[in-house]
Chains A and B, each alone.
Chain A
Amino acid sequence: MSTARKSSKVTPRMRPASSDLLSERELRGIIATVLRLAKVTGAEETEVHIDDVNDALTRFANNAIHQNVAERGITVSIRTVVDSRTARATTNRLDEDSLRAAIDSSISLAHRQPRDPRLLLMPGKQNYRPVRRYFQNTARITPQDRARAVRRACDLAIKHGQVAAGIFSTGLSQSAIGNSRGLFAAYRETHSAFSITMQEPPAASWAKANSADVRAFDTQRLAVRASENAHRAVNAREIPPGRYTVILEPAAVLDLVGFLFYDFAATAVADKRSCLNGRMGTQLFAKNITITDDVYHPLQLGPPFDGEGIPRQHVQLVDRGVPKSLVYSRRSAKAAGKKPTGHGFPLPNEYGEAPMNLVFSGGDSSIENMIATTDHGFLVTRLWYIREVDPYEKVMTGMTRDGLFLVENGRVTSAARNFRFNQSLLEMLRNVELLGPAVRATGEESFEMVVPAMKVRNFHFSEVTKF
């Protein structure tokens, strides 16, 4: 549904970033200071997290920039342990008095709770597999670079009598963790995203991409795609709700299957709030569904360690439709007699862990092929406001948005008014007929994952809206 035009990838003028992140030496220095102060304050164990962000976002609407922001911030989060009790205190002030106050606060909170016999000693030094997710080309993007790209997109909208809205964000961030048992891990990444909605009243369409490397996507190509689809989306027909074959573009797949991520947490299963309770090892999904959690996948982002500094493992969650494995924090692993997989959240918390880097195996079907093999169905660009209706059957509700197209006899014949769906994800993943290549997908309802486009039969649209 998109047409390539002259490439306009954003390449920054070579100049230093306006404000860089802390160096590893500075990170280690802050951690060493906290550990020193905590030791003399009486903490038996201490863990320090540092988050360091330098982000910027240019927002546009009505064919002009209307918001344009930048943020620079560092937080230091300190967890102490005293007598099998632990608590966390966080500050964004880096002077010794403030760090000492945060340590005192953490120890004071820890002291005033019951002992936790399940609390584990902090982990010692770990080995990490390196990942490269920091690109100078992204770090050096300036507000002027973003504004020029936005201007080109808005000019395109004006040329076609449309109205553009969206964002162009770039940034750099890092996180580090160190503890009193000698563990130290640090990770830095750059990130960039361009999202655009083209409105041709009463229709609209949307396109979005993100990457650690701003050169991985072409902002103007995304604008062209949204513009063309917005034009196709005018004169939408009202079609009765019902069960239909749907072709879900990757963003639509992502925003649905993203709601499954916490079900693979061992703690969620132990708490009996996972849809996988009593279903592990069964043929729950179609045989063409294989899901892994893999932070090392080349299309993934995020640190290769978890909230306690444990290295993330590659975990095969679903093998040809059968849920095989869960992810474990150190605590849930011990309770289950398993090894931790490096997916724990920072302690203390009640949720345990979750896979944050889901990768679905894809197929080789193009969206064009999915359309060509569909007698009667819909092509879905994007979904919106998805919420869980039934946690065990994993029924989700939500709306189609920004481009719903009727497919008849192997081709797109018109736009359609948006539907509400009430659809079980378990049923949906049993009804997948075709898969596209897995891509890094980005939407607005879920964090980014690697998922394919899907052709799904019997998708349940329950009601229709007015546009």
Chain B
Amino acid sequence: MWDLCTLSLDTARTRGATYGDVRVMHHRQRDLTTKNGQVGTLAQSESIGLGIRVLASGAWGFASTGRLTREGVSACAAQAVSIAKASALAKRRDVVMAPEAAYIDSWQSPFRKDPFEIPLETQLALLLAADAEMRRVQGVTLTETDMQFRKIDCWFASTIGSRIHQRKVISGCGIAATSFQNDEIQKRSYPNSFGGQHALQGYELIESLDLLKHAPFVAEEAVLLHSAAQCPEKTGTLILGGSQLGLQIHESIGHPIELDRVLGEEANFAGTSFLTLDQLNHLKYASEIVNVVADARLDHGPGLGTFAYDDEGVPAQCTNIIKDGAFRGYLSNRETAHLIGLNRSSGTMRTEGWNRLPIIRMTNVSLLPGSWDFDDLIAGTDDGILMETNRSWSIDDRRYQFQFSTEIGWEIKGGKKIHMLKNPSYSGITTEFWNSCDAICKFDHWTLWGTPNCGKGQPMQTMGTGHGASPARFRNVHIGAAFSNQ
């Protein structure tokens, strides 16, 4: 692979590139699903190819190919340079990149059990057993389970001399039960909705989630939701479960801190951000107990945003985003770092695959644990609603106004969960919401949640991001707007 990398970079230089970086990537993926006790998807795929990004005439070009012959790679590199020169027809200034050292390294994400070495029969048997457990519950009308495994090798090289090989193993799984009754569809999922939990781990993740144990409860709650009270519309106290809070972080902190959005580079599609450059170190983003980091290091945990180097060859870092409630940092790359006074990228350039350009992406954007025990948090809440497991999510294109709904809610009165609520939702303005946070649970309740399906960029790229969160409490939140009909 290094020969192909060298050939492509040499070709680019010969054609006039002043900088180039290249990724040869080999993706292997296995997908398993079941539905109503039958195997749904059963598929395995592999894809290998090369993508090269170059600077020529002061502008960017990128080309990719699955044709890994000397001719194919040379043609691809030449095409990238040609595209860069075309870009220069509509440039305003030359691209300037922050300096970065060259690295020669190899890294593999740690895992205990290679999911591709676990017999498929074992994996399918677990899903079918969980599916059967859910179908035992009367009133369940649809059961679904899924597992997904990926193994990604990336050989990165750049004209500044880096040669970095990384191998990542990613696993994920989830189960869901749906119940249709009386003109109403209710659904419960475990351990999270929209595909479950995903992490930079091996099959040990699947085993740790104990799908079989949770399957009956998931199914029972889906059915019980039909007879639950409707979540009221009011302004009040909200407690969010960890997975829902993870998505709240993703949408209302993770995306607004992407510096490419802030600078208008996503204005046509993903949108911009309310976090204009003048807000840095001035905005009170959240209450004083809120601390958020963007941490790609393995020390933070095996998240979907964990790596040793980003796809621009910059080592993984931890960046303070919110410190004691104050807005302290963005996600940057080598091209944008200088705009916020940094002399180095924060290492967040990531690509979906060999045929996509690296762009600024969330790594693991996590809320650091607080001091509360979860039972104490409930006991310390006189009147509130606990919401768990995302059902829908939406936020405006500058990341101010959001609305989330969850699969299930619980009314809390006098420090106790008293009954189930259906169709819960809440909405608000990002900074008002985060400034209303008055309690965060401690590390015992903290999970590094994986969001495997974050879409951004044109052409669209899907990326996995990590979000560490423990349950937290928010005051004076607008609850129930999604189902109001005023």
Binding site for B on A (CB under 8 A): 18-19, 55-75, 77, 86-93, 102, 105-106, 108-110, 112-114, 116, 118, 142-144, 146-148, 150-151, 154, 163, 165-167, 169, 195-197, 199, 204, 206, 242-243, 271-273, 277-278, 348-350, 384-392, 395, 397-399, 401-402, 418, 420, 422, 444, 460, 462-467
Once A109-B44, A277-B180 are accepted as A-B contacts, the answer to whether A66 and B60 lie under 8 Å apart by CB is yes
Q: Does B482 interact with chain A (Cβ within 8 Å)?
A: yes
Chain A residue nearest to B431 in the complex (CB):
A466
Q: Which residues of A contact B458 (CB under 8 A)?
A: 57, 59, 67, 167, 169
Contact mask for chain B residues 63-105; partner A; CB cutoff 8 A; 1 contact, 0 none = 1111100000001100110111011011111000000000000
> Would you mind naming 14 contact pairs between A and B with Cβ atoms under 8 Å apart?
A69-B64, A70-B79, A93-B66, A110-B42, A146-B86, A148-B90, A272-B180, A397-B394, A399-B394, A401-B271, A420-B394, A460-B485, A463-B403, A467-B396
Once A65-B91, A91-B46, A392-B185 are accepted as A-B contacts, the answer to whether A163 and B121 lie under 8 Å apart by CB is no
Q: Are B392 and A397 in contact (CB under 8 A)?
A: yes
| Distance from A146 Cβ to chain B, minimum over Cβ atoms (Å) | 7
Chain B residue nearest to A53 in the complex (CB):
B355
Q: Which residues of B contact A148 (CB under 8 A)?
A: 89-90
Q: Which residues of A contact B274 (CB under 8 A)?
A: 466
Neighbour of A68 across the interface among B33, B62, B120, B393, CB < 8 A = B62
Q: Which residues of B contact A147 (CB under 8 A)?
A: 86-87, 89-90
Once A271-B142, A397-B403, A420-B401 are accepted as A-B contacts, the answer to whether A72 and B65 lie under 8 Å apart by CB is yes
Contact mask for chain B residues 246-267; partner A; CB cutoff 8 A; 1 contact, 0 none = 0000000000000000011111
Q: Are A70 and B83 in contact (CB under 8 A)?
A: yes
Report Cα–Cα, A405/B35, bound state, in Å: 46
Neighbour of A397 across the interface among B39, B62, B356, B482, CB < 8 A = B482
Q: Are B41 and A92 in contact (CB under 8 A)?
A: no
Q: Does B183 interact with chain A (Cβ within 8 Å)?
A: yes
Neighbour of B62 across the interface among A70, A91, A144, CB < 8 A = A70
Report Cα–Cα, A91/B43, bound state, in Å: 11
Q: Are B482 and A422 in contact (CB under 8 A)?
A: yes
| Distance from A240 Cβ to chain B, minimum over Cβ atoms (Å) | 11
Once A65-B91, A350-B35, A463-B427 are accepted as A-B contacts, the answer to whether A242 and B486 lie under 8 Å apart by CB is yes
Q: Which residues of A contact B91 (CB under 8 A)?
A: 64-65
Report Cα–Cα, A273/B274, bound state, in Å: 37
Q: Are A206 and B268 in contact (CB under 8 A)?
A: yes
Report Cα–Cα, A113/B123, bound state, in Å: 10
Q: Are B357 and A69 in contact (CB under 8 A)?
A: yes
Q: Are B39 and A348 in contact (CB under 8 A)?
A: yes
Once A91-B47, A401-B396 are accepted as A-B contacts, the answer to whether A72 and B67 lie under 8 Å apart by CB is yes
Q: Which residues of A contact B59 (CB under 8 A)?
A: 65, 68
Q: Does B364 interact with chain A (Cβ within 8 Å)?
A: no
Neighbour of B483 across the interface among A196, A272, A390, CB < 8 A = A390
Contact mask for chain B residues 196-208; partner A; CB cutoff 8 A; 1 contact, 0 none = 0000000000000
Neighbour of B46 across the interface among A65, A92, A195, A392, CB < 8 A = A92
Chain B residue nearest to A345 in the complex (CB):
B41
Neighbour of B120 across the interface among A93, A109, A278, A390, CB < 8 A = A109
| Distance from A100 Cβ to chain B, minimum over Cβ atoms (Å) | 13
Neighbour of A389 across the interface among B41, B178, B425, B486, CB < 8 A = B425
Q: Does B423 interact with chain A (Cβ within 8 Å)?
A: yes
- Which B2-59 residues sit within 8 Å CB-CB of chain A? 33-36, 38-49, 59
| Known contacts A204-B267, A420-B394, A465-B398, then 14 further A-B pairs from the complex at CB < 8 Å, ordered by chain A residue | A58-B87, A66-B265, A67-B357, A109-B43, A113-B120, A113-B121, A146-B86, A147-B90, A272-B141, A350-B33, A350-B35, A350-B41, A462-B482, A465-B396
Q: Are A87 and B42 in contact (CB under 8 A)?
A: yes
Report Cα–Cα, A395/B392, bound state, in Å: 11
Report Cα–Cα, A460/B62, bound state, in Å: 44
Q: Are A271 and B89 in contact (CB under 8 A)?
A: no
Q: Are A92 and B396 in contact (CB under 8 A)?
A: no
Q: Which residues of A contact B67 (CB under 8 A)?
A: 72
Chain B residue nearest to A392 in the complex (CB):
B185
- Which B372-395 residues sit within 8 Å CB-CB of chain A? 391-395
Q: Are B397 and A348 in contact (CB under 8 A)?
A: no
Neighbour of B484 across the interface among A88, A349, A392, A422, CB < 8 A = A422
Q: Are B124 and A349 in contact (CB under 8 A)?
A: no
Q: Which residues of B contact A401 (CB under 8 A)?
A: 271, 396-397
| Distance from A81 Cβ to chain B, minimum over Cβ atoms (Å) | 12
Q: Does B137 interact with chain A (Cβ within 8 Å)?
A: no
Q: Does B443 interact with chain A (Cβ within 8 Å)?
A: no
Report Cα–Cα, A144/B84, bound state, in Å: 10
Q: Are A69 and B180 in contact (CB under 8 A)?
A: no
Neighbour of B267 across the interface among A77, A197, A390, A444, CB < 8 A = A197
Report Cα–Cα, A450/B80, bound state, in Å: 36
Report Cα–Cα, A101/B41, bound state, in Å: 20
Once A401-B397, A463-B427 are accepted as A-B contacts, the answer to whether A92 and B48 lie under 8 Å apart by CB is yes
Q: Are B398 and A467 in contact (CB under 8 A)?
A: yes
Once A148-B89, A389-B405, A391-B185 are accepted as A-B contacts, the answer to whether A88 and B42 lie under 8 Å apart by CB is yes
- Which B103-126 residues sit within 8 Å CB-CB of chain A? 119-121, 124
| Distance from B36 Cβ to chain A, minimum over Cβ atoms (Å) | 8
Q: Does B299 interact with chain A (Cβ within 8 Å)?
A: no
Chain A residue nearest to B27 in the complex (CB):
A92
Q: Does B429 interact with chain A (Cβ within 8 Å)?
A: yes
Most buried by B among A69, A105, A144, A197: A69
Q: Which residues of B contact A105 (CB under 8 A)?
A: 44
Q: Which residues of A contact B44 (CB under 8 A)?
A: 87-90, 105-106, 109
Q: Which residues of B contact A70 (CB under 8 A)?
A: 62-64, 79-80, 83
Report Cα–Cα, A169/B38, bound state, in Å: 41
Q: Are A390 and B423 in contact (CB under 8 A)?
A: yes
Q: Are B89 and A144 in contact (CB under 8 A)?
A: yes
Once A65-B91, A73-B66, A390-B423 are accepted as A-B contacts, the answer to whether A384 and B86 lie under 8 Å apart by CB is no
Report Cα–Cα, A419/B49, bound state, in Å: 44
Q: Are A399 and B396 in contact (CB under 8 A)?
A: yes
Q: Are A165 and B142 in contact (CB under 8 A)?
A: no
Chain A residue nearest to B38 in the complex (CB):
A116
Once A92-B66, A148-B89 are accepted as A-B contacts, the answer to whether A68 and B83 lie under 8 Å apart by CB is yes
Q: Are B396 and A384 in contact (CB under 8 A)?
A: yes
Report Cα–Cα, A112/B30, bound state, in Å: 14
| Distance from A34 Cβ to chain B, minimum over Cβ atoms (Å) | 15
Neighbour of B400 across the interface among A68, A75, A349, A465, CB < 8 A = A465
Q: Which residues of A contact B142 (CB under 8 A)?
A: 271-273
Q: Which residues of B contact A93 (CB under 8 A)?
A: 46, 48, 66
Q: Are A62 and B263 in contact (CB under 8 A)?
A: yes
Report Cα–Cα, A349/B35, bound state, in Å: 10
Q: Which residues of B contact A72 (CB under 8 A)?
A: 63-67, 76
Q: Which residues of A contact B42 (CB under 8 A)?
A: 86-88, 109-110, 113, 348
| Distance from B73 Cβ to chain A, minimum over Cβ atoms (Å) | 12
Neighbour of A87 across the interface among B33, B43, B119, B356, CB < 8 A = B43
Q: Which residues of B contact A243 (CB under 8 A)?
A: 486
Chain B residue nearest to A64 in the complex (CB):
B92
Q: Does B61 interact with chain A (Cβ within 8 Å)?
A: yes
Neighbour of A73 across the interface among B39, B49, B90, CB < 8 A = B49
Once A68-B84, A242-B486, A463-B427 are accepted as A-B contacts, the answer to whether A197 and B396 lie under 8 Å apart by CB is no
Chain A residue nearest to B357 in the complex (CB):
A69
3 residue pairs, one from A and one from B, having the closest CB atoms: A350-B40, A143-B86, A465-B401
| Distance from A368 Cβ to chain B, minimum over Cβ atoms (Å) | 27
